[in-house]
Amino acid sequence: MNNSRDDNTALLLIDVQQGLADPSLGERNNPDAEANMARLLAAWRQRRQPVIHIRHCSVEPDSTLRPELPGNAFKDEVKPLPQEKTFSKTVNSAFIGTGLERYLRDSGISALVIVGLTTDHCVSASTRMASDLGFEVNLVADATAAFERHGYDGEHYSGETIHRINLASLNGEFCRVCNTAELLDGSA
Amino acid sequence: MNNSRDDNTALLLIDVQQGLADPSLGERNNPDAEANMARLLAAWRQRRQPVIHIRHCSVEPDSTLRPELPGNAFKDEVKPLPQEKTFSKTVNSAFIGTGLERYLRDSGISALVIVGLTTDHCVSASTRMASDLGFEVNLVADATAAFERHGYDGEHYSGETIHRINLASLNGEFCRVCNTAELLDGSA
């Protein structure tokens, strides 16, 4: 199945915001993620396919993504154009408390290419709901990234480990995991 | 915070069905999961706290959980009593295509203790949505379990690895990960 050339496949960019570069978040994998997002964004714009930006507007007291903070701004690599659709959310899933599902259905969009931050939190939550709501999802491994975490058991897991295993749990059940090059050359 | 003794904390059992014992699913971690679910279920019944069972009724052609197959039945350890609420679903999240959210709100239930199968698929998807919808969640590590998986990169991950890292991604963001003993002795 190749839906990357389909006019009705939207590129969904999740939480690509400056506050997620804060050093307090710890070690992150895949420093090339933003460059790959930018390559996909340029391709979607060139093909005039739909682009949707999701902005996290945190209500947590100590979040770098609170709406009044500079960290709420989109990263330079993926700044929305005025005509591109943007939804703001306060929780992890891009589908909760937003008009995203309604917008996709009204626009005849049945397939999504998902990129953004972070793999295991907002990207995973949004991918799972997209799939459960009936949308077809390609999730781009090299255009997403995760931070290191400590488990409930105190064990430490690197960003790369968190990223890979969360993708393994999503792949085949909620989405097809692919990479940027496959989407750009049409083989995905 | 201790909500395990709260009358309005429901025990939510996800997909504890016979078809998930099928050998085709591969190696699973935590063989004690069902015994721990049964201990929690007995405690909830004794305390007369709400119990909710989720049954997966798959629409996938080769699933062991299709409604007409014996695998759709609940495992003996957690069979619902007639007065206990049961919701059927066809996707991963217990909140999609069911009346669960409406039922919880109408019943004044604001907190959930989640157990069941599998950690990284239906348990994670349901925990994420519960949290994003505003419910407080305790997720019971030793009353959930995961199967081995192969990553998109072909790498093999054991059920225990999948389980632990998925819990690490959920803990603190979508839920508090705890264990059965903490809930039974009231320390959770």
Three-state SS string across A79-109, please?
Answer: CCCCCCEEEEECCCCCCCCCCHHHHHHHCCC
The model's pLDDT over B152-174, given as tens digits with 9 standing for 90+, comes to: 889 999 999 999 999 999 999 99
Q: What pLDDT sits at residue B2?
A: 45
A165 within 8 A of B170, measured Cβ to Cβ: no
Q: What pLDDT sits at residue B188?
A: 74
Helix (H, G, I), strand (E, B) or coil at B59: coil
B60: closest CA of chain A, how far (Å)? 11
Q: What pLDDT sits at residue B57?
A: 97
* Beta bridge mates, B112: B10, B137
Contacts of A120 in chain B (CB under 8 A): 169
- Among chain A residues, CA nearest to B166: A166
Contact A152 B93 (CB under 8 A): no
Contact B164 A153 (CB under 8 A): yes
A128: closest CA of chain B, how far (Å)? 6
CA dihedral B171, B95, A59, A98 (to 10 degrees): 140
The enclosing H or E element of B125 equals helix B124-132
Contacts of A30 in chain B (CB under 8 A): none
In whole angstroms, what is the distance from residue B73 CA to residue B70 CA?
6
Q: Which domains does chain A possess?
A: 9-185 (3.40.50.850)
Q: What pLDDT sits at residue A188?
A: 74
The model's pLDDT over B7-26, given as tens digits with 9 standing for 90+, comes to: 789 999 999 999 999 999 99
In whole angstroms, what is the distance from residue B84 CA to residue B89 CA?
16
Q: What pLDDT sits at residue B6?
A: 59
In whole angstroms, what is the distance from residue B162 CA to residue B28 CA?
10
By C-alpha distance, which of A125, A89, A120 is closest to A26? A120
Residue in the structure block whose two tokens are 């803990």: B171
B93 within 8 A of B80, measured Cβ to Cβ: no
As to burial, measured by CB atoms within 10 angstroms (0-12 exposed, 13-18 middle, 19+ buried), residue A34 is: buried
Q: What pLDDT sits at residue A2?
A: 45
Contacts of A133 in chain B (CB under 8 A): 96
> pLDDT below 70 — which residues of chain A?
1-6
Nearest CB to B129 within list A93, A131, A151 = A93
Contact A129 B177 (CB under 8 A): no
Contact A152 B133 (CB under 8 A): no
Contacts of B91 in chain A (CB under 8 A): 131-132
Integer angstrom CA distances of residue A58 from A19, A90, A140: 11, 5, 25
Phi-psi bin for A10: left (phi > 0), alpha (psi -120 to 50), beta? beta
Nearest CB to A173 within list B121, B131, B151 = B121
Q: What pLDDT sits at residue A152?
A: 87
B92 within 8 A of A132, measured Cβ to Cβ: yes
* Beta bridge mates, A80: none
> pLDDT below 50 — which residues of chain B?
1-4
Q: What pLDDT sits at residue A6?
A: 59
Q: What pLDDT sits at residue A1?
A: 40
How far from the centroid of its chain's Cα atoms is residue B155's Cα?
27
Q: What pLDDT sits at residue B187?
A: 78
